[in-house]
Structure 1
């Protein structure tokens, strides 16, 4: 039986979501959803935004919870209602220049996602975007760094 370490990465990332200048990327991702009040779960895959020399993330026995605050405004400053939010994309990896692992959280009410198979004692970098019902995606958040323990 593998020892499952749990690290809690509790970020209060106040997202400013879905501005007019956002991108609509074609990242390969795995959908994750949840009901209100429960974290989303799901496996992640490497996105195709990386160069061909990128290696897949190694797998381990550590886990983490990545949390955020639901956005209420767009990047332009205009209001954003819950009915306009379609989901979030969590980007992470152990190379700050290549956050190639993406989880697509398709529940607009989600405020966290559980990440599994992280390698203990490895530094991970995280960013998040929000996207609306018109597939307009926000700019990525600031990068947050944590070490899996």
Structure 2
């Protein structure tokens, strides 16, 4: 399943770092960034998380929150958040139901072997819970800046 820009965002409710929980319902009325990453504390995911952490004050100035989502259980997510002082919620989608709803749990292949894995993707959601912009197959360098530019355009 894949969602389109302009479509209502699929609902979600997940446990998140710092004993928090995140849900679409709780975010109603606020625009936010929902990004999916493959695995806590790996090089690309660490760089991406740190870039979003660095962009938080500017994104916050635009009224945007950031939520990171991975298929990891809470324990490695908590360690990852603490290790890099990540203050935004990192959610655990261990059942992959949210990733499936957003079309980010996909078949991948490495060295000719096919397997299911998390696609690095980012969704900018508007205050009405609609998908304003989608980035698929994200390349980490400069990505947080691209998201920031799109968020500014959202007004």
Instruction: Compute the TM-score of the two structures, normalised by the length of structure 1.
Output: 0.30
Which structure is higher in strand share? Answer: 1
